[in-house]
Amino acid sequence: MRNELNELATFAMVARERSFTRAAAKLGVSQSALSHTIRGLEQRLELQLLARTTKSVAPTAAGAALLKDLAPALEQITLALDKARSVRRSPAGRLRIVMSRSAAVMVLLPKLTAFAEAYPDIVLDVVTVTGPVDLVAGEFDAGIQLGEYIQKDMIAVRVTPALRLAVVGSPGYFSSRSIPQKPKDLSDHRCITLRLASGPYRWEFERGRKSVTISVNGPLIIDDTHLVIQAALAGAGLGLVYEEQVAEDIAKRRLIRVLEDWTPPIPGFFMYYPSRQHQPAALSALVSALRLS
């Protein structure tokens, strides 16, 4: 198919230029190579497409009919290739991005207005998912995820500093319950569980050289940390969320933080994508906009 397209494009160039010399110059090939290509096409079609004399070249009736049918198709191919190349050159088009709702709120939304104003021809098609996602299988251009969940063969760009998790509950919840002092004390508490694609998230704690992982129990399992916060505010139980998400609630005593010395920093969010090679201009623009400076 590639050879046939090359032959047809070569024929169209010679027929339009009515000269092997001019056509060869425009195509950047020798006249002998051009003649060989045209002869091969004519032999395969068993038609003479070009009438040649020592002084001129012109399409035969069959050649003129073929050129008339070819011209729109070749023009459409040229336009399609130009459009494809523009994706590499110009920040435009649609980007499919996957992330958790927390990442969308903490990373994307604060910079979205400035990005949209700087790149009005880019459309961000955002899908929110809790937990790791296979970008290639999901046909996503990029994703935003915690560093610990990103596959090793991905390009990863930091978009937040290190984060900390916070265990929080409402004053009303603690009015009839003791404050947990150690992770194992959580067995005596109602906990709001975050559900990942792989299953319920097990709460991880660390202090010094000691690490503890707890499978918590409680009345609610949900798949979004913002809903975890709302449930904690309502007194449904203890929630494990990002410190940044509840800083104001803690400062205003709407939530009480516990086990703070058991929650060390975690790597934070990264934007990740499969390869740097031939990266679309739109993706390069988004990476630059979200990259942690």
CATH numbers and ranges of domains, the chain: 2-89 (1.10.10.10), 95-161+269-290 (3.40.190.10), 163-266 (3.40.190.290)
Structural Rg of the chain based on CA atoms: 31
pTM over the 0.75 mark: no
Are residues 41 and 11 in contact, defined by beta-carbon separation less than 8 angstroms?
A: yes
d(Cα 230, Cα 192) in Å, to the nearest integer? Answer: 11
What pLDDT does 123 receive? 95
- Pick the closest to residue 165 from 221, 110, 237, 102 (CA basis): 102
Strand partners, 191: 238
d(Cα 290, Cα 293) in Å, to the nearest integer? Answer: 9
d(Cα 7, Cα 50) in Å, to the nearest integer? Answer: 13
What pLDDT does 68 receive? 87
List the chain pLDDT tens, one digit each, 293 residues: 557 778 888 888 888 888 888 888 888 888 888 888 888 888 888 888 888 877 788 888 888 888 888 888 878 877 776 666 655 556 888 999 999 999 999 999 999 999 999 999 999 999 998 888 889 888 899 999 999 888 888 999 999 999 999 999 999 999 999 999 999 999 999 999 998 877 888 999 999 889 999 999 999 999 889 999 999 999 999 999 999 999 999 999 999 999 999 998 999 999 999 876 667 889 999 999 999 97
d(Cα 145, Cα 163) in Å, to the nearest integer? Answer: 12
Are residues 180 and 227 in contact, defined by beta-carbon separation less than 8 angstroms?
A: no
Helix intervals (H) in the chain: 2-17, 20-27, 31-45, 61-89, 101-103, 109-118, 135-138, 171-174, 225-233, 243-251, 281-290
d(Cα 22, Cα 5) in Å, to the nearest integer? Answer: 20
Q: Tell me the CA end-to-end span of the chain in Å, nearest whole number.
A: 48
Strands (DSSP E) contained in 82-227 are 93-99, 122-128, 142-146, 155-158, 163-169, 192-196, 199-200, 203-207, 210-214, 220-222
Do the bridges between strand 220-222 and strand 192-196 make them parallel or antiparallel, or are there none, so unpaired? parallel
